Amino acid sequence: MGQIRVSVIGASGYSGIELVKILARHKYARVDKLFANTSAGKRVAEMYPWFQRRVEVVYEQYSAEAACRSDIVFIALPSGEAMNLVPELLDRGRRVIDLGGDFRLKDVSLYQKYYKRDHTAEETLTKAVLGLPEWNRSQIKPATLVANPGCYPTSAILPLVPVLKEGLIEGKGIAISSLSGVSGAGRSSSVDLSFAEVNESVKAYKVGVHQHTPEIEMALETFGGSAVSFTFVPHLLPITRGIYTSIYAPLRANVTQRDIGAAFRKHYEGEPFVRCSETAIPEIKNVNYTNYIDIGFRVDTENNQLVLLSAIDNLVKGAAGQAVQNMNLMFGVDETEGLIA
């Protein structure tokens, strides 16, 4: 096939630059335009020396006209910004993948509640498809607008859906505890995210009000097939990248470790980026810089609880890697292209 011309808006941030790295080794992608308003005029390699002799593109101020010369546009901006750009890009016939949260929720009232702002592109929400390849592949392929899932939701949804779908756990009383590296907050400076503040410490934040909560609920009910209620508590780790999620769920009667293993094999055996193990405990170091999610599980027979564990790289499977996986599906390219070194 011919090359896929790509533009990236927000290409100087952590997720944006990870996206450029992946695209640079993609056999069928050609990076056309990189937009980063605060870095306009600078070469990518000037800010990120890793790109010396690899990508010699200069950052530009965003313009819809320039972006629309590409076949697909990735938006790697903070939530609240993509909604101002997407309608025009779609009207001009471009396909779009948004790595932010503006198009993940179908209910505008939930967006306003959790993101604390009005949604200015409500009519565009109906065009958005959730970019979770393992569970939404058929809808992603023809989509014009893909809403990439959040990093925390990816780490929680993928372990939970198979056991919900097979009726192995109760839908109520689920607890999700996630720990993330500081790159999940983006590249903008903040005292709370400085080395002196996060080093040698762990803290919970946005307990009960995190914006990823309704996204997790929507996906679990859509793909798991039943109503759920859960508690989600995110934590900040003193590491750069990676997410580790521990999930505790009440088991249905007479469910065994073998039943759980069978559910994961049934749904994920052919998935290129899902690695499940009945014996190994996932570790962040084994998934960082990759598009894999590692899932482990244990049945606590004394307390009739299922313990699910997952690890992902928040910048790859939790953002840029999953976005390229979605692009591959949209353009009929091998799903793993650019994602396995």
Q: Give the sheet arrangement for strand 293-300, strand by strand.
A: 203-204, 230-236, 174-180, 243-250, 305-312, 293-300, 274-277
- 208 DSSP assignment: T
Q: 4-148+318-330 domain in CATH 3.40.440.10?
A: no
**Mean pLDDT (whole number) for 248-271:** 97
In contact, 283 and 306? CB cutoff 8 Å: no
pLDDT tens, position by position, 106-130:
999 999 999 999 999 999 999 999 9
Q: What is the pLDDT of residue 56?
A: 85
Distance CA 44, CA 57 (A): 6
pLDDT tens, position by position, 308-324:
999 999 999 999 999 99
How buried is residue 88: exposed, middle or buried, by Cβ count under 10 Å (0-12/13-18/19+)? middle
Higher pLDDT, 203 or 185: 203
- Indicate where the chain has its CATH 3.30.360.10 domain(s): 152-314
**Encoded tokens for 123:** 């009519």
Q: 152-314 domain in CATH 3.30.360.10?
A: yes
Element of type H or E holding 244: strand 243-250
Q: What is the pLDDT of residue 26?
A: 97
pLDDT tens, position by position, 270-286:
999 999 999 999 999 99
- Strand pairing of 293-300 and 95-98? unpaired
Rounded to the nearest integer, the mean pLDDT of the chain is 95
**HSE-CB of 78 using CA atoms within 13 angstroms:** 7
Residues known to be catalytic: 151
In contact, 272 and 336? CB cutoff 8 Å: yes
| DSSP secondary structure of 40-98 | TTSBHHHH-GGGTTT--PBPB---HHHHTTSSEEEE---TTSGGGTHHHHHHTT-EEEE
Q: What is the pLDDT of residue 188?
A: 65
Above 80 in pLDDT, residue 203? yes
Longest dimension (CA), the chain: 63
- Indicate where the chain has its CATH 3.40.50.720 domain(s): 4-148+318-330
Q: What is the pLDDT of residue 196?
A: 74
Q: What is the pLDDT of residue 189?
A: 59
> How far, CA to CA in Å, does 227 sit from each of 95, 106, 161, 169, 224?
32, 17, 12, 12, 8
pLDDT tens, position by position, 128-160:
999 999 999 999 999 999 999 999 999 999 999
Helices (H), 199-300: 213-224, 257-268
